[in-house]
Structure 1
Amino acid sequence: MVTEVKIEFDTEFIEQLDKLAQSEFKTRESVIKSALAAYIERYTKMVDIKRLATGKFLNGDLDFDDFARIVGYDNAILARDIDQAMKESIVDAKKDFAF
């Protein structure tokens, strides 16, 4: 199944796109499709890497600085804080229900 997508670019961008397409003996559409496919592939791989890094960090196999470099500082802080809150919550729950 094919779905058509309309997208608008400024004239200067289209001129650059056409030069690129011509230099690679491709159509404008082919260059855009290739670029989007490459972007989606890189994005998907980065999501997988971040997920793997998060698991390693939470298991203690990756230090905070390296984790922050991979997922970004704000995301690393958030993951660290959530992990700490969960651990504290579990400790408190065990205390509350100790027999």
Structure 2
Amino acid sequence: MSHEDERRRHQRYPLRLPITLHRDGEQLAAHVINASEGGCLLLMSIPLEMGDVLEASIPLLGVPRTKLYVLRCQTTPEGEYTVATRFEEDAGVESASLARLSRQ
């Protein structure tokens, strides 16, 4: 088990869900590429900064409009960006919903 796996409190589920984010009145498009009860990894065409605060709703995960806090942003070999986020407390993401969507 890697150090990264040991730090995670929640199991991650691979997904590919389109999402619209909001930051300071601006709409941003992204895809959720994996998610857990604590946060999600986004694939985006623009970089974000650690500490940025986004707002989004994820109806397929049963998440009403909630805040996502940017933890890190990395460039992919294809020139896109993976953005690790954590949900605000009580976002309501449940493992059962993630597991069901991951299998689809």
**TM-score class, shorter:** under 0.3
Larger radius of gyration: 1
TM-score by length of 2: 0.21
The structure, 1 or 2, with the larger RCO (C-alpha pairs under 8 Å, 6+ apart) is 2
TM-score by length of 1: 0.22
Q: Counting strand residues as a fraction of each chain, which structure ranks higher? A: 2
Q: Counting helix residues as a fraction of each chain, which structure ranks higher? A: 1
